[in-house]
Amino acid sequence: MKTSELVTAVVLFMIAAGLLVLAILHFLERGPLLNNAAIYASREERKTMGKKPWYRQSAIVFCLLSAVFAVLGLSIVLQNGKLMLLEIPLFAAVIVYALVSTVRIGRKK
C-alpha cells in the first residue's frame, strides 16, 4: 500500500468516525440540530417546533453516511474495488430515508 493510499484511508476513517460521533450526539438530542428543517426555520419556528423527529432523522442519515465512508476506507485498505459497489445501496438508502422521513414528519404536523 502506498503512502497516499494510507493517508486517504485514514482521512476517510476519520470522516466516518466524525459522522458516527455526530450521529450519537443526535440520537442523544445533544448539540446543534444539523437539519435543514431547523437551519431554515425562523427563530420563532425553532422555539415551537418539535425537534425530536428531526434529531432522529439526522442521526440515522449520519449513521448511513458514516457507513459509506467506512466502506470507502475499507475498499482502499483491502484494495478491493468491488467493495465500492456497496456505496450505491447505502447512498440510495440515505436519499430514500431522508425523503420518506421528511414526508412522514410533515404529515404528523
Whole-prediction pTM? 0.89
Contact 69, 13 (CB under 8 A): yes
Q: What is the pLDDT along the chain (109 residues), one digit of tens a residue?
A: 789 999 999 999 999 999 999 999 999 999 888 888 888 888 888 888 888 999 999 999 999 999 999 999 999 999 988 988 999 999 999 999 999 999 998 887 6
Q: How far apart are the first and last CA of the chain?
A: 52
